[in-house]
Structure formats: C-alpha cells, structure tokens
Amino acid sequence: MNAIMAGPKINSPANVPHATWLPANPATALPGVRRNSWLRLQGREGVLFLLGIVLIWQFVSSSIHFAGAYLFPSPTLTLKALWISLPDLLKGTGSSFMVLAPGYALAVVVGIVWGLLVGTTPWMSRMFSPFARFASPVPPTIYIPYAIALLPTFRSAACFVVFVGAFWPVFLNTTTGTASLPQRYRDNARILGLKRTEYLWRIVFPASLPHIFSGMSVGLVFSFIMLTVAELFGASAGLGRFVQLNADYADYPRMVAGILYIGVVVLVTMELLERIKRRALFWVK
C-alpha cells in the first residue's frame, strides 16, 4: 500500500532536461547545437546528400560490370550527353511550354473563377458538387488517349489534358478557401454594403489566396505530369518526347540527361510560382 502511495520509482533526477531532440521551434533549432562544427557540415545536409548520390552513381556505373550496365550511364557520360543535347532540350522546352502554359493558365483562371462562384453560391454548389465528387478523383492521365483521338491536333489534346490535370486542384482549393472565409471578413463586407462582384473580387478572392496558391502548386505538378505523359504518347517535339525518343534508340546517357533536365525545369518553374506566391501573400503572417 505504501509503495503504491509513493508512486513509481523515478530513476532519473527531475532536473535532467528531457526531450532535447525536440526543440521548441524547428526554425531556431539549427544554430544551437554544433556537434560537427569542425567540418562545418551543418546547414549543408542537402548538398551533401546530392553529392553522396552522385558518388554512389559514379561508383555503381564505373566499377560494377554486369549485364545491362549500359542502362546506367556514368555521371560524366550523362553530363556530356546533356551538354550535347542542350540545343534540342531548349527547343523541346519551348515546345513543351507552348502546351503547358495555355493549359495551366486556363485551368488557373477557370478554376479560380468557377471555384469562387461555386463556393459562394449555394445552388451552384448543390449543382456542381456531386459532379465534382465524381469527376475530380479520376486520374487525369486516363483521358489522354481519348483526348488525342477526339481533338484535331496533338497540341490541343495535350493542352486539354494539362487543363484537366491542373483544374481540379485549383478549383477544389479555391472552394476550400471560400468555405474557410473568416466571419469577420463577411461581417465587414456586409457593413460596407459591397456588391456581389466586389465581394468576390476584393474580399473572397484575396482572402482565399493562400488556399488558391496551394491548389496552383499541386496543379502545376499535375500539369507537368500530364504534359510529359501526353508527350510520351504522341508528340513530335517536347521534353517528354525527347526522353521517349532516346529510350527508343537506347541512347541512355541522353535519356537520363533528359530526365535530369526535366527535373531542373520543374524545380525552376515551381520556384517561380513560390516567389509569386510570396509576393502576393505578403500580408499573411
């Protein structure tokens, strides 16, 4: 009985700090501990990881000989291939963006406008939501063969599937934004007696921008997926086409170079969107 009253025996003294692995704020955690200060590694983990991958890649491709080793071109070989095919890749980038840009831009405009309308109009929401619930989860890649068959040119078909891929994330996030509109903005808009269009454009749209931008990020990723998959199917130019063509001719250094190049293009485009987002959302803490 007495033992129970005393509670469980605590081995460690109470004043030993615990859970030091979990800092209060992840942003401020970095400068505190300096275990590897002699190598100054901290803060450079990302570069080191990439370097590690390249080293392993180099090791695997140069020192191990097995059947099918030609499928693993070494980093130097790939870099050389990248250099040689840079003009082709740049031309392909132009061609790809001629598909991506209109499809994505249209998806953003239509997704936002339609999302704002559906999100703020009860009857439109009742009308469109059942359809959205059915259509939005369909993997958009599945439309590609039909779009190619249906539409007159490959470009229009690819534009269409890029549009479909980007539309749903933008639209759904916009409606989420309108649904989570804080009461205080509604109150203020009503006090000012704003007209419906003013309310949508000057209040609901900016207030929903944080959600809209996350929809645009997801939509952009989807756009690239749709674009490259569509180009694998039947393009005569473009980044996806470049990879497919070199795979067909078993030119794996060029193919891998193409994949890496696409990665960089996506990264740069996403970064561009991120900058636009930061500028537009300057008022969000």
Partner 1 sequence: MIMNALDTRSTNSIHGSGLRVEDLHFAYNGTSVLHDINLTITEGEFVCLLGPSGCGKTTLLRLLAGLETFSSGSLFWNGQAITGPSLERGVVFQDYSLFPWMSLVNNIALALAKSHPETGKKWRLNLAEEFLEMVGLADAARKHPFELSGGMQQRGAIARTLALGSPVLLMDEPFGALDPVNRAKLQDLVLAVWSNANPKKTVVFVTHDIEEAIYLSDRIVMLGSSPGRVIEELSVPFPRPRTRRTLTNSPGFQTFQEQIAERFRQDTLQSIEAESAVCGDAEGI
Give the nearest distance from C-beta 193 to partner 1 in angstroms. 5
Is the Cβ of residue 80 or residue 277 nearer to partner 1 in the bound state?
277
Give the nearest distance from C-beta 208 to partner 1 in angstroms. 11
Give the nearest distance from C-beta 191 to partner 1 in angstroms. 5
Is the Cβ of residue 22 or residue 191 nearer to partner 1 in the bound state?
191
CA distance 243 to 18: 52
Give the nearest distance from C-beta 207 to partner 1 in angstroms. 8
Is the Cβ of residue 83 or residue 282 nearer to partner 1 in the bound state?
282
Is the Cβ of residue 102 or residue 206 nearer to partner 1 in the bound state?
206
CA distance 259 to 236: 18
Give the nearest distance from C-beta 36 to partner 1 in angstroms. 38
**DSSP 8-state assignment for residue 34:** -
Map residue 17 onto helix, strand or coil: coil
Nearest 5°: the CA angle 145, 148, 152 is 165
Hunting for tokens 């485009």 — which residue is that? 269
CA gyration radius, the chain: 26
Is the Cβ of residue 209 or residue 225 nearer to partner 1 in the bound state?
209
Reference 155, options 101, 108, 86, 91; nearest CA is 101
Is the Cβ of residue 72 or residue 185 nearer to partner 1 in the bound state?
185
What sign does the dihedral 81-83-88-90 (CA atoms) show? positive
Scored b (16 or more CB within 10 A) or e, 37-60 reads eeeeeeeeeeeeeeeeeeeebeee
Give the nearest distance from C-beta 173 to partner 1 in angstroms. 18
Task: Return residues touching partner 1 (CB under 8 A).
Answer: 182, 184-185, 187-188, 190-194, 202-203, 206-207, 209, 282-285
Is the Cβ of residue 202 or residue 277 nearer to partner 1 in the bound state?
202
Within 8 A by CB and 6+ apart from 35, the residues are 42
CA distance 232 to 207: 39
Distances (CA, A) of 156 to 1, 14, 25, 230: 81, 69, 49, 11
Give the nearest distance from C-beta 197 to partner 1 in angstroms. 13
Return the axis-axis angle of helices 205-234 and 154-179, rounded to nearest 10°: 150
Is the Cβ of residue 132 or residue 203 nearer to partner 1 in the bound state?
203
Give the nearest distance from C-beta 274 to partner 1 in angstroms. 19
